[in-house]
């Protein structure tokens, strides 16, 4: 359905390389307001666009390199909410609530090649995953279990709040570059290798709050947490921060 005033879908299960099994990569589902409700899983690799609202309720939601966008976005799952190399954008407010784990993960891609006595291999960032609020409204993300943010971006021009029933893990993705010349030549060869971590960034236009409940922890590796006003980290367990590889 395209360019409808409102679209409501009650479905059992959705899997789509585009949208809803259309078989069209990058397919578009749009409406003034889009509401999708299912007791099964939803997988999006296309675009779900609401001019006002996008509301999705599912058992598991997999946004794989897809785009979900509206003025107000509300995503709720009874189990996992996975944003893998995908983008969720709200003009005003974004609420993402996972009954179990909330995973926001960028993806990597690897390649290799050779020419004569030279060869290389590399692994780099492919698609950056992100949750974004462009206006001054709230960006709220919660999980009944863990929040896992890996090489990803979470950014709002207003308040940003992350609440986990257990742990908050703010991780990095590791990139590698290896170059080899005259491999196996005892006297005339060159091998260079570089490894680095690409960390996650969490940015708030006003206040940033990160909570880990139930005596659990907040762990950050190569992470950047920034707010125009205050950054508040609350964990009943431990808080650990490490620099990562450079």
Tell me the torsion sign for CA atoms 129, 240, 134, 159.
Answer: positive
Segment 80-98, tens digit of pLDDT: 999 999 999 999 999 999 9
Strand-pairing partners, residue 161, are 140, 209
Count CB neighbours of 238 within 10 A: 12
Q: Is 71 within 8 Å of 94 (Cβ atoms)?
A: no
> Which pLDDT belongs to residue 27?
73
| pTM of the full structure | 0.85
Strand-pairing partners, residue 162, are 141, 210
- The residue among 197, 101, 94 whose CA lies nearest residue 154 is 94
Segment 181-223, tens digit of pLDDT: 776 666 777 778 889 999 999 999 999 999 998 767 999 999 9
- The residue among 98, 60, 112, 103 whose CA lies nearest residue 84 is 103
Question: What is d(CA 128, CA 70) in angstroms, rounded to the nearest whole number?
Answer: 19
**218 Rama class: left (phi>0) / alpha (psi -120 to 50) / beta:** beta
pLDDT surpassing 80 at residue 66 = yes
Question: What is d(CA 73, CA 77) in angstroms, rounded to the nearest whole number?
Answer: 14
């Amino acid at each position: 359905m395209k360019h409808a005033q409102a679209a409501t879908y009650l479905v059992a299960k959705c899997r789509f390389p585009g949208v809803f099994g259309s078989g069209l990569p990058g397919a578009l589902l749009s409406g003034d307001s889009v509401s999708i409700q299912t007791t099964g899983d939803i997988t999006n690799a296309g675009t779900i666009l609401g001019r006002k609202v996008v509301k999705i309720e599912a058992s598991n939601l997999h946004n794989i390199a897809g785009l979900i966008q509206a003025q107000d976005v509300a995503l709720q799952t009874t189990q996992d909410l996975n944003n893998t190399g995908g983008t969720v954008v709200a003009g005003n407010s974004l609420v993402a609530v996972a009954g179990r784990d909330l995973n926001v993960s960028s993806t990597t891609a690897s390649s290799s090649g050779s020419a004569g006595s030279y060869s290389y291999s590399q692994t780099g960032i492919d698609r950056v995953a992100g949750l974004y609020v462009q206006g001054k409204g709230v960006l709220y993300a919660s999980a009944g279990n863990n929040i896992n943010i890996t090489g990803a971006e979470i950014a709002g021009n207003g308040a940003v709040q992350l609440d986990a029933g257990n742990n908050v893990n703010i991780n990095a993705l590791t990139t590698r570059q290896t170059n080899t010349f005259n491999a196996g030549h005892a006297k005339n060869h060159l091998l260079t290798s570089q490894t680095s971590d690409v960390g996650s960034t969490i940015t708030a236009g006003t206040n940033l709050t990160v909570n880990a409940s139930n005596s659990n922890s907040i762990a950050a590796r190569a992470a950047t947490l920034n707010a125009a006003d205050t950054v508040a980290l609350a964990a009943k367990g431990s808080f650990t921060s490490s620099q990562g590889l450079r």
